[in-house]
């Protein structure tokens, strides 16, 4: 079932929306080899070091895009999320030359490092916008049920399931 804004889209945009909605996952080749990079990112974020977090996140994104044979994206990790009366901005995808993803690692109000799973999901959300254009060849990128399923599918391929040791223990 389409989200409410679907009715306001042009006929061409509705076709793109339906196509996006019909794609529930993106399969990562050899995803188990990427899981170590996800764990490195978790440790970097836990350290609270912006540069280490940015480097680890960029390495993960680059490896995912290489595995998919897709055009790279430049990542910027910033400290405190911008906040306005509408809420906090968590991530931003900007297509261009180069394509860019920006994510924030600290909450706006308390300036605490965000939870790892929240950070990773935000990173993958913005990556999915990039993949809509560059991997799936969609004319636009919409928040469809399929889009959110693709984000979730990437998350579950990159995070080891079951109990595991916490970084640094």
- The Cα–Cα gap between 88 and 109 comes to 9
pLDDT value of position 7: 93
Residues of the chain with pLDDT under 50: 164-169
What residue spans define the domains of the chain?
26-81+88-158
Query: Tell me, what's the pLDDT at 121?
Result: 97
pTM value surpassing 0.85? yes
- Using alpha carbons, list the distances in angstroms from residue 92 to 39, 97, 125, 129: 23, 15, 9, 9
CA 114 to chain CA centroid, nearest Å = 15
């Amino acid at each position: 079932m389409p989200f409410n804004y679907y009715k306001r889209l042009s006929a061409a945009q509705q076709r793109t929306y339906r196509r996006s909605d019909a794609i529930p996952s993106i399969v990562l080749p050899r995803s188990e080899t990427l899981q170590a990079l996800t764990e490195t990112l978790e440790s970097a974020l836990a350290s609270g070091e912006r540069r280490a977090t940015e480097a680890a996140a960029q390495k993960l994104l680059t490896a995912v895009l290489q595995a998919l044979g897709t055009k790279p994206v430049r990542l910027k990790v910033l400290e405190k999320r911008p906040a306005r009366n509408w809420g906090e901005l968590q991530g931003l995808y900007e297509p261009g030359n180069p394509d860019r993803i920006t994510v924030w690692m600290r909450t706006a109000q308390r300036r605490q490092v965000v939870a790892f799973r929240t950070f990773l999901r935000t990173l993958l959300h913005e990556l999915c916008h990039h993949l809509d254009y560059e991997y799936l060849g969609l004319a636009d990128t919409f928040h469809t049920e399929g889009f959110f399923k693709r984000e979730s599918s990437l998350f579950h391929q990159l995070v080891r399931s079951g109990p595991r040791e916490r970084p640094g223990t």
